[in-house]
Amino acid sequence: MSSFQFTLLGTDGAARRGEFHTPHGVVQTPAFMPVGTQGTVKAALHRDLRDAGAEIILGNTYHLFLRPGDELIARRGGLHQFISWNGPILTDSGGFQIFSLAERRVIREEGAEFQSHLDGSRHMLTPERAVDIQARLGSDIAMVLDECLSYPATRDEAAASMQRSARWARRCRERFSQLSAFAQATADRSASAEATADRGAGSEVQVSNPGQALFGIIQGGVYQDLRDESAAATTAVGFEGYAIGGLSVGEPVEVMYGVTGQTARGLPVDRPRYLMGAGTPEDLVECVARGIDMFDCVMPTRNARNGQLFTSEGRINIRNARYAEDDRPLDPACGCYTCRHHSRAYLRHLYLAGEMTAGALNTLHNLTFYLDTMRRIRDAIAFRTFDTFRQGFLRSASRLSLDS
Amino acid sequence: MSSFQFTLLGTDGAARRGEFHTPHGVVQTPAFMPVGTQGTVKAALHRDLRDAGAEIILGNTYHLFLRPGDELIARRGGLHQFISWNGPILTDSGGFQIFSLAERRVIREEGAEFQSHLDGSRHMLTPERAVDIQARLGSDIAMVLDECLSYPATRDEAAASMQRSARWARRCRERFSQLSAFAQATADRSASAEATADRGAGSEVQVSNPGQALFGIIQGGVYQDLRDESAAATTAVGFEGYAIGGLSVGEPVEVMYGVTGQTARGLPVDRPRYLMGAGTPEDLVECVARGIDMFDCVMPTRNARNGQLFTSEGRINIRNARYAEDDRPLDPACGCYTCRHHSRAYLRHLYLAGEMTAGALNTLHNLTFYLDTMRRIRDAIAFRTFDTFRQGFLRSASRLSLDS
């Protein structure tokens, strides 16, 4: 039985301020989830995530399934215990990574057959199996397996793919209910100290987190009528939350904003809305303005490792020679460890010298910038000043590069 | 005028408990100095060094001279300010790295001509220039330029090299005195608000840390009579402290211990003794037993990045399959962040997955093990139980691999 619960605390236009409860704590929304693909956010220790203000992180099912394996993680007590992160975790279904494997995967109605990028071994991921793996990982929020469309796609391709995703969503929900029922029955037997030999469907899956929630995913490409059809089909199944998938895949940003806003409007008010894989800081602000509650993106961490830094005054490419003798912090408005202790000149030196501490310090800063932006967004909605905040944010240099 | 001051607090056999004062704080001895080659200890943020108990770190003059350059660092206010480490720093002279360049360097009486490993550019490092560069860096302890002998070397080679090192030591001391006198005169002029145009020797060098100390280095290979001759010549010049160089370069460990002990015995009691480049945890204990006060070594940090971990129960190669499902901390006796939060199974996963956090967590642990060993050594000397500690330490599994 999922213990997941979302509360809408208030709105300001279409922007929503809320919170959701999970077995590992509460998350304030709108929320940004740092991406911890392989059980760690790259270059960031857990304490750094806490310091930066992260309340929830994301894990990638595809990577964890291949290495170290979902069964090993279940034997460790689940992903939280394995990685020692005791806050909420969301796992994706593995679909997006598998669809990115191009020639190394075949999609059929049953599921996706793919070859590991690590050793070429062959695996089959069905909707049921995606649920089982995430049950073993024990994330607080699991995602249904969906078919991820490439961009551009014709309307017919998008329709067929969206309909398959809807069928898979139903299969995921059914399997999820089986596992929940089995876990509940096990808990009841355990509570009544009865040792029965009765083992039903789901008995082969070790459920690491009985309070897990399952989110559905709306597909349909850039075709709004397909998005609407997908939303209707997915909400008819019923999930603890709804994600918008298949955006930020190459379409123009206005199209992304448009589809996001239209689709969000059609989703239940009392469930969180998660825009998968977005985006830039401006994307976060713009999509909150269109009713989105949750985001994840590798941009702050990946860009950090490449020396691309976000500041309140604009973006910085720390490799640039103009920073060689710049004694100022990356961002005078930032209170992170990096900005409190180190200069641009030093960070440039570490980057050019190839030091791992460059990645660590830059990651700390970029995550802080993202998470601090979310905090400011939440405050602005609470004070009903979100539109002023939004205009100021977009007017500021934050979306411009200081180095172009 | 160097503000460096060493106080011998007590002894237990040949082992010494002391402390030295620098312009950036006090260091308790025996001390281990983590190596921060390029202005950062690899994979460790400064706060990690503090947490692990580091009181002093080492910087490499060769690397910092080439990148970002000693003059750039002087313009930033010196190395402490550039890297934002406000504790004591020792810099080596650059000699060891240059002698390691093999065909890319020529040694003459004047100094060492070498080609940068970064871009092939040609440079000349003389004893005077080594002092100038370190004056710009502004370390708390600078080292004389010495000629580093390869092992094995004949007695004649060792004698000639040792004598050249002694001549270079005198030239270093002379240049250091010039710079000190000039810095003092500048300070006096500044204090009396007199702006004079009088600029003498040393005026082209920006002295970042007027309280800097200079250490001499004893050479002579494995020939004890040459070591004694070197010690006599070097102490005749007079330095704030004395290092033993040219060991841990391939000679048997008994030879290293023997030369260290004999040489240490011949050094002034009232100056700290620094064994350069050593060593394993057992080397630290054994050389403290022979009168050494200071150590530096890349072993804890480099081994950490290679998955080789030191524990009170023995050495661990975290790649080993036996740790795949091991939920214990690396070392149950260790209180570091890594051991408080993470299991061997997780650390093995991070290492195999190539995550940067593996390097960070492993480095934190190994540095803590080294620095905690030094703390235990200091306590044992203070309580005059060092011999008991030493026997116990060597009997313990700490020098054995759990994975061999």
What are the pLDDT tens digits along chain B (404 aa)? 678 999 999 999 999 999 999 999 999 999 999 999 999 999 999 999 999 999 999 999 999 999 999 999 999 999 999 999 999 999 999 999 998 888 899 999 999 999 999 999 999 999 999 999 999 999 999 999 999 888 899 999 999 999 999 999 999 999 999 999 988 888 887 777 554 445 556 778 999 999 999 999 999 999 999 999 999 999 999 999 999 999 999 999 999 999 999 999 999 999 999 999 999 999 999 999 999 999 999 999 999 999 999 999 899 999 999 999 999 999 999 999 999 999 999 999 999 999 999 999 999 999 999 999 999 999 999 999 999 999 999 988 555 677 75
- Cβ atoms of A215 and A141 within 8 Å: the answer is yes
Query: Please, which pLDDT band fits residue A101 given cuts at 50, 70 and 90?
Result: confident
Band (pLDDT 50/70/90 cuts) for residue A201 is low
- Measured between CA atoms, the residue of chain A closest to residue B348 is A68
Is residue B164 exposed (0-12), middle (13-18) or buried (19+ Cβ within 10 Å)?
A: middle
Q: What is the pLDDT of residues B150-195, one digit of tens each?
A: 889 999 999 999 999 999 999 999 999 999 998 888 888 777 755 4
Active site residue B296: yes
Residue whose structure tokens are 């009528």: A225
According to the per-residue pLDDT averaged within each range, which of A218-227, A394-403, B178-187 is highest?
A218-227
Q: Which of A47, A68, A345 sits opposite B76 (nearest CB)?
A: A345
Strand-pair category, B112-115 with B105-107 = antiparallel
Please answer yes or no on whether A355 and B38 come within 8 Å at the CB atom. yes
Taking CB atoms and an 8 Å cutoff, what residues of chain A touch B67?
349, 352-353
Percent of chain A with pLDDT over 90: 87
Write down the residue that tokens 């190394």 correspond to. A104
Q: What are phi and psi for residue B144, nearest 5 degrees? A: -70, 155
Q: What is the pLDDT of residue A327?
A: 98
pTM value > 0.90: yes
How far is A323 from A124, CA to CA, in rounded Å? Answer: 50
Task: For residue A396, name the pLDDT band (cuts at 50, 70, 90).
Answer: confident
Number of neighbours of residue B321 by Cβ within 10 angstroms: 8
Distance CA B375, CA B8 (A): 16
B185: its two tokens? 């005169």
Report whether B264 contacts B14 (CB < 8 A): yes
Query: Between β-strands B31-33 and B57-59, what pairing exists: parallel, antiparallel or unpaired?
Result: unpaired
Active-site residue (options: A12, A48, A70, A92)? A92
The partner residues of B107 in beta bridges, in order of sequence, read: B112
Tell me how far CA of residue A363 lies from CA of A276, A277, A367, B193, in angstroms.
21, 18, 6, 47
Please tell me the total number of residues recorded for chain B in this structure.
Answer: 404
Q: Averaged over A376-396, what is the pLDDT?
A: 96
Q: Is A70 labeled as catalytic in the residue annotation?
A: no
Q: How far apart are CA A303 and CA A312, in angstroms?
A: 16
Distance of residue A134 Cα from the nearest chain B Cα, in angstroms: 18
Mutation site, A63, A65, A357, interface B, largest B CB count within 10 A: A357
- The answer to whether the Cβ–Cβ distance between A346 and B47 falls below 8 Å is no
Residue carrying the six token digits 């002087």: B74
The predicted model gives A71-84 an average pLDDT of 98
Q: Does residue A1 surpass a pLDDT of 80?
A: no
Please name every residue paired with B57 in a beta bridge, in sequence order, or none if there are none: B89
Per the CB < 8 Å rule, is A82 touching B345?
yes
Q: Which of A42, A75, A84 sits opposite B325 (nearest CB)?
A: A75
Higher pLDDT, A110 or B151: A110
Q: What is the mean pLDDT of chain A?
A: 94
